Amino acid sequence: MVDLTIWTTWNSMIPMLSFISPPLLLAETAEAELGPMVLAGVLVSLIVIYLSSKLIGELCARINLPPVLGELLAGVLIGVSVLNLLIFPGEGEESTSILLTFLQATDGLTPELTAQVAESIGEVITVLSEVGVIILLFEIGLESDLKELIRVGPQAAVVAVIGVVVPFTLGTAGLIALFGVPAVPAIFAGAALTATSIGITAKVLAEIQRLTSREGQIIIGAAVLDDVLGIIVLAVVASLAKTGEIQISNIIYLIVSATIFLIGAILLGRLFNPYFVALVDRLKTRGQIILPALIFAFVLAYIGAAIQLEAILGAFAAGLVLAETEKRTEIEEQVIPIADMLVPIFFVVVGAKTDISVLNPFNPANREGLIIATFLVVIAILGKVVTGLGVFGQPGINRLAIGVGMVPRGEVGLVFAGVGSATGVLSESLDAAIIVMVIVTTFIAPPLLRLVFREESEDVETVESLPKTE
């Protein structure tokens, strides 16, 4: 029905268009006309992405929620769930995005070119979001401090491992046993429960001035290790999802290859670092730091993808390696604007691709999806809160605070959802359930963290209680 309306509208528009531009030229210039149309569509998509993510990100920052959550919610708002302003590959002719209507009205996009232009815009935005997550992981790697990680050592390692194993096992087993989810998506969803978002926790700890407390140090150390473990888990799980097979030998091969890749990259990187610095010092033309760094990140990302792991694992390894050079600060400074430009595209696209309406509680058909989402949220919280129990030899330490500090999933959880939806292994409702899990854990962690630390400072350490900032 809709198709017919559009069809007749298009047909009636053609004579008008041919009046403006000679009909003879239409066929000849079709290829040449596509380019500017695609560019215009990409520009409008980027404007919509940046405007919405900045707007909702700033709102989130004002009510003490992490801005990344704002970017995700902006994606949900402008995506398939609500406003449908973006286009994704595979939609092609079926796309009913308002963006296309807008381009037809303002930029002279002709109906016969619409499907092809829509497909190209979708491709470009998707690749930009993927380059965005590569840059994000490169930056996370750059900001991770290997030496610091080794120093915090065993305490953080125990907390991190518990925080990966417990939610992963409970989540996967629960999804298979209670909800009959097939093994591969269940493993994927279980894996999405593992990674802690260091950014959100670190920010809240800094705000309540607990970043350098014993608890804070263990949380941060464990969260960084969680990132590493989570990315290895993701690489393994995504690879399983690609082949669709689960064989113990395959899993062992993947875990070993991911670990070898990461450790190998770091060890080789240490040999290579002095040459990198010497090379960069000799370059005279613009981009003398950022381009060699990007080349390195993209090469490792490509290798990561080519050996059946993930591109982001390579980018993360590249970041870890370059973090050990004396150029670290300079690289970070220059990566930040690039990340500011590309990373929001990733978060917005993850939100935009998620059809949140499959969890609409007013539709009875969604009940199972909602129950699964609730289950994931409960496991996500419990599985991390118990990690505090793993701390040993630290009398009087606030175990609850450590556990709560590990709860937020944030960006890394979203990376799982994004990769999962790209591999096509997650059902719509499971995909949406993971997004909801990330949103809820990220929403509740900051107030919970303030609560458990406030109780402590009121009850136990009233003497050194600190003024509550912000």
Within residues 296-315, the interface with a copy of itself by CB under 8 A covers 298-299, 301-302, 305-306, 311
Q: C-beta of 99: minimal distance to a copy of itself in Å?
A: 12
Q: Which residues of 403-426 are buried (b: 16+ CB within 10 A; e: fewer)?
A: bbbbbbbbbbbbbbbbbbbbbebb
* 291 touching a copy of itself, by CB under 8 A: yes
Which position among 94, 101, 153, 182 is part of the footprint of a copy of itself (CB under 8 A)? 182
| Residue (340 or 455) nearer to a copy of itself, CB | 340
| Residue (2 or 278) nearer to a copy of itself, CB | 2
Whole-angstrom distance, CA of residue 228 vs CA of residue 34: 42
Residue with token string 């009875």: 364
Q: Which of residues 357-376 bind a copy of itself (CB under 8 A)?
A: 368, 371
* 378 touching a copy of itself, by CB under 8 A: no
Whole-angstrom distance, CA of residue 453 vs CA of residue 362: 38
Tokens of 148: 């610091």
- Per DSSP, the three-state class of 84 is coil
Q: Which stretch binds a copy of itself (CB under 8 A): 221-229, 256-264, 277-285, 451-459?
A: 277-285
Q: Which of residues 421-440 bind a copy of itself (CB under 8 A)?
A: 422-424
Which position among 113, 166, 231, 294 is part of the footprint of a copy of itself (CB under 8 A)? 294
Tokens of 370: 């909602």
Query: Between helices 198-207 and 428-459, what is the axis angle to 10°?
Result: 20
| Residue (377 or 402) nearer to a copy of itself, CB | 377
Q: Which of residues 28-67 bind a copy of itself (CB under 8 A)?
A: 28-29, 31-36, 38-40, 42-44, 46-47, 50-51, 54, 57-58, 61-62, 67
| Residue (147 or 282) nearer to a copy of itself, CB | 282
Residue pair 352/128 in contact (Cβ under 8 Å)? The answer is: no
Which position among 63, 284, 464, 467 is part of the footprint of a copy of itself (CB under 8 A)? 284
- Per DSSP, the three-state class of 391 is coil
Residue pair 406/222 in contact (Cβ under 8 Å)? The answer is: yes
| Residue (185 or 230) nearer to a copy of itself, CB | 185
Whole-angstrom distance, CA of residue 263 vs CA of residue 135: 20
Binding footprint of a copy of itself, residue count (CB under 8 A): 98
Q: Which stretch binds a copy of itself (CB under 8 A): 172-180, 200-208, 263-271, 409-417?
A: 172-180
Q: What are the C-alpha distances in Å from 424 to residues 183, 227, 233, 312, 369?
A: 14, 23, 18, 18, 17
* 203 touching a copy of itself, by CB under 8 A: no
Q: C-beta of 90: minimal distance to a copy of itself in Å?
A: 5
- Per DSSP, the three-state class of 393 is coil
Q: Residues for the chain: how many in total?
A: 470
Neighbours of 323 (CB within 10 A): 21
Q: C-beta of 60: minimal distance to a copy of itself in Å?
A: 8
* 25 touching a copy of itself, by CB under 8 A: yes
